[in-house]
Amino acid sequence: MANGKQDKNRTNLTWEDFETYLPQYNFDEKQIEFFKDTFETVTNNRDTNKVTCFSPRCGIGKSTFIHTFIHCCIGDFFFMGRHEPQGLVVVTDSIKRLEELSNSNKNRADVEKSWGEVLEGWGILENHYKEFEKNVIVLRSDEPFKEQLIKQHYRPIVLLSTQRYFMLAESTRKQLFSFTYNSKPMKRDIVIFDECPQFFETVSINSVNLTKIESALYEGLSDEVKDKEFVIREFKAFKDRLLDQMDEKEKISKDSNVTIYWKDERYSSITPNDDLLFKVIVENMESLSKQYNGIWKDMLCLQKIAQEGAIFNSVKKKHGNYERCFMMVLDNREYFYLGKDKKFFVFDATADIDPRYDLDYVEVLSGEKYNKQLNMRITNVKMSTSKNVLCKGTKTSIATTNAIIKYLKQKLKHGIGKQRDILVVVYSDLLRRFQKDFKNIGYFGNLKGFNDFKDLCCMAHVGMNRFPNMAYFFIYCSCHIEVYRELSNMTEEESLQFFDLISKNHQKQYEYIITKIMLRCMLADFEQNIFRLAIRNYANTENVHIWTFYNTDDALYKELSSMIEDRYKPYGTVFEYEDTPEELKIEKVKDRKPPNGKKMTNVQKIISWREQLQQGTEYKIQTLLKETGLTDRQFQKAKNNEVLARILECDKTSKKGYYKVS
C-alpha cells in the first residue's frame, strides 16, 4: 500500500514457511541474519514511494533468497499460515538465472532431507512441487508473447528478463501485475530485480534503427490495415528528414567529432497525425514486433526527438567507418509505479557505491553488517594500461601485454605452481592475446552475476573498465534529469562548445562530478569482478591474491587505489605496490623516438647490441664500445639512464671489468 499500512486481507508469509524451503547448506550466521532481515523487509515494507535496494556483499546468497522466496510465495498448508499464493514478479539480466530460479527441483533434495518424513506423512511435499510447476512462468523471447501473456494470467509468479521488462508497452506491462487464482482476481504487488535495473537509458537512434522500423512497417502491416499507406509514407518522410540532418550536422567539423544538441525547427511530431500512427502500431504490435523487437521503444524515442530534440553525436575514426546517431537520456521512473500498489525491491551488492542509485526515489540499505574478514591480498603493478596503450597493434601495446604475461607466468610459477589456475580479466579486444597462455579469461562488462570462477584464488585485473566522460555525464543527467532538459535551451554553437569541454573534462561545473562518478563506477566494476573468486564464499579459508595493473602515478588511479583500500582494508585485506616491470621499462626505452632524425639513441644502441648476445655470454666494456661505435664519454653519459644502469648492474660479475648477459 502506498501509505505503508498493512492490508488485512493480505496473504501472510511466515519465516517458518521460508525456512522450510531454504537449502540445508552450511550457511554462515551472517547469511542467516541477512535472510531473516531481508524476508522481514520484503514482506512488510510497503512504502511504494521508494524503490528499496539491498546491498549485501557478493556471495551472500541473494539468488538463494529469491529462489526460496518463490517457493514460499506458491502457497500451501504446511504452517497453516496461508492458503493462497503471493503474487510476485522477478526480473533479472541473465536467461541462465531465470532458468535457475524457475527450476522447482533445485533445492528439493535439501527439503526432503529436512522435512521429508513430516511432509510425506501429510502428503504435502509432492503437491508443493506440482504447484510450483503450475504457478511459475518464465516469459521467453523465443515463444509467441501473446500466448505467454494469456498463460501468465493464471500463474502467480512471473519471471522475465530486464531487457524485456523495459521494452514492454505500458498497457502490456500492466498485465504483469494481476492474475487469477481459483477464479479470484489477485495482484502481483511485489517486484524483485536481481541486478541493477534500468533506472535510466541512454538510447541511440541511428540509420540502422530507422531502416529496421521502416522495414517492419512494410512487412509487419498487412494490406488489410486501413492506414498502412499513411503510416509508411509519413514515417519515410520523417526518416529521410533525420538522415538529412545527420548529413548536415556532421559537416560542422570536417575532421573532429561533432556533439551538439539538435532540435527540429520544422516539425514537432513524427507525422501530421501521431495519434493515428501509434494506434496502428498498438493494434498490430505482435506482427510488427516479430519483424523488429525494438520497434515500440524506438518509436517512443523518435516521438521525443521530434518534440524535444536530442543529442547528435558523430564520431570520426582515423581508421574505418565513423559512427553517428541521435542520443537521448530516458528517465524510466514510470516503470517503478511510485506511490501506487506495487512495491519494488532491488538486490545489488554494489548499490552503495554505484552512482546510478543516486535517485530521489531510491533507498539503499547498507549490507555492511553482513561482511566478514577477507583472506585477500591485492598487489598493484605500476604501468599504463589504458585502452589506448593496450588495444592498438603498436609495438608498445604488444610489448606491454607481453610484459604482463611474462610477469604473471613468473609469479604463478613460483606461487601456486599451475599457471592456468588464474582468472585474467582484460579488455575484450585483448582476449586472443591472453588466451594463448591462460585458460580462464574474462573481459570487462561480462563477469557480473556469473559464478564460474568461484573456486579460483588468483586474478589478474589488467586495466580498469573506464568509459568516455560523456557516459558518466549521462549517469549524472539520469539522476538530475533537469540538467539534461536544460541542454535543449542551448544553441547548437553553445552545445558544441559545452560537449567539447565535457569530453576533455574541462567543463568546470562538472569536472569534479564526472571524476567522482567515474571513480565510483570503476570501483563498483572492480568489486563485482574480484568477487567472482573464492572470496565470494563465506566459508572460504584460502588466500586470494589479486594483481591489478594500472599506473598509480596518475592522480585519478591514485585516488582509485585509496578508495579500494578504504573499501577492503577494514576486512583484513593486505595491499602491495610494485614498480613497473623491468621488461616494460626496457621496451619503453627501446620505443623512445631519437632526436634530430637519428636512428637510435646511444642507450638504445647499447640495449640493442646486448640483446643480440646469447644468455650467459661474457663481454667487456671495450668490446661494447667497439661494436656500438660509442666513445667512453658517450657511454658514461648513457649510463645515467636508470634502465641501462640497472641492466649493467645485473650483468656485472665478480671478475673486474667483465659482464655477463643474465
Phi, psi of 123 (to 5 degrees): 70, 30
Alpha-carbon distance values, 193 to 159, 198, 233, 477 (Å): 10, 10, 41, 23
pLDDT of residue 21: 83
pLDDT of residue 419: 46
State the cell numbers at 321.
567507418
CA-nearest of 71, 157, 35, 89 to 538 is 35
The C-alpha atoms of residue 211 and residue 575 are separated, in whole angstroms, by 53
State the cell numbers at 654.
665478480
Looking at residues 121-135, what average pLDDT do you find?
A: 63
Which is higher by pLDDT, 505 or 555? 555
Average pLDDT, the chain: 88
The C-alpha atoms of residue 572 and residue 475 are separated, in whole angstroms, by 33
pLDDT of residue 418: 47
Is the sign of the CA dihedral 492, 497, 498, 500 positive or negative?
positive
Per-residue pLDDT tens over the stretch 332-364: 999 999 999 999 999 999 999 999 999 999 999
* Residue appearing with cell numbers 535551451: 489
Residue 58 backbone class (left: φ over 0; alpha: ψ -120 to 50; beta: rest): beta
pLDDT band, residue 76 (cuts 50/70/90): low
Per-residue pLDDT tens over the stretch 278-293: 999 999 998 999 899 8
Looking at residues 496-521, what average pLDDT do you find?
A: 94
pLDDT band, residue 115 (cuts 50/70/90): very low
Please check the confidence at residue 81 and state whether its pLDDT lies above 80: no
State the cell numbers at 118.
513430516
Same fold, 15-199+335-370 and 376-580: yes
The C-alpha atoms of residue 199 and residue 300 are separated, in whole angstroms, by 17
Looking at residues 446-469, what average pLDDT do you find?
A: 89
pLDDT of residue 322: 74
Per-residue pLDDT tens over the stretch 524-538: 999 999 999 999 999
Looking at residues 302-320, what average pLDDT do you find?
A: 85
Phi, psi of 527 (to 5 degrees): -65, -45
CA-nearest of 336, 81, 67 to 198 is 336
CA-nearest of 558, 466, 549 to 514 is 466
CA-nearest of 67, 89, 70, 78 to 23 is 67
The C-alpha atoms of residue 471 and residue 120 are separated, in whole angstroms, by 56
State percent of the chain over pLDDT 90.
67
Measured N-to-C along each axis, helices 62-74 and 29-44 cross at an angle, to the nearest 10 degrees, of 50
CB 148, CB 129: distance < 8 Å: no
Per-residue pLDDT tens over the stretch 192-212: 999 999 999 999 999 999 999
* Residue appearing with cell numbers 609495438: 395
CB 263, CB 311: distance < 8 Å: no
Looking at residues 167-179, what average pLDDT do you find?
A: 90
Question: Which CATH superfamily hosts domain 15-199+335-370?
Answer: P-loop containing nucleotide triphosphate hydrolases (3.40.50.300)
The C-alpha atoms of residue 457 and residue 455 are separated, in whole angstroms, by 7
pLDDT of residue 577: 96
pLDDT of residue 3: 43
Q: What is the pTM of this model?
A: 0.88
State percent of the chain over pLDDT 70.
89
Please check the confidence at residue 155 and state whether its pLDDT lies above 80: yes
Hey, which residues does 652 pair with through a beta bridge? 659
Please check the confidence at residue 8 and state whether its pLDDT lies above 60: no
State the cell numbers at 156.
502467480
pLDDT band, residue 104 (cuts 50/70/90): low
pLDDT of residue 127: 63
Rounded to the nearest 10 degrees, how much is the dihedral formed by the CA atoms of 514, 516, 518, 524? -150
Per-residue pLDDT tens over the stretch 32-45: 999 999 999 999 99
pLDDT band, residue 256 (cuts 50/70/90): confident
Which is higher by pLDDT, 239 or 421? 239
pLDDT of residue 144: 78
CA-nearest of 629, 422, 656, 647 to 546 is 422
State the cell numbers at 251.
559537416
Segments making up each domain of the chain, as ranges:
15-199+335-370, 200-331, 376-580, 592-660
Query: Is 113 strand, coil or helix?
Result: helix
pLDDT of residue 319: 44
Other beta carbons within 10 angstroms of residue 226's beta carbon come to 9
The C-alpha atoms of residue 658 and residue 652 are separated, in whole angstroms, by 7
- The class that CATH gives domain 376-580 is alpha beta
Please check the confidence at residue 416 and state whether its pLDDT lies above 80: no
pLDDT of residue 588: 81
The C-alpha atoms of residue 659 and residue 53 are separated, in whole angstroms, by 64
**Cβ neighbours of residue 56 closer than 8 Å, sequence gap 6 or more:** 34, 62, 349, 367, 370
Looking at residues 585-609, what average pLDDT do you find?
A: 86
Please check the confidence at residue 30 and state whether its pLDDT lies above 90: yes
pLDDT of residue 126: 57
Please check the confidence at residue 123 and state whether its pLDDT lies above 90: no
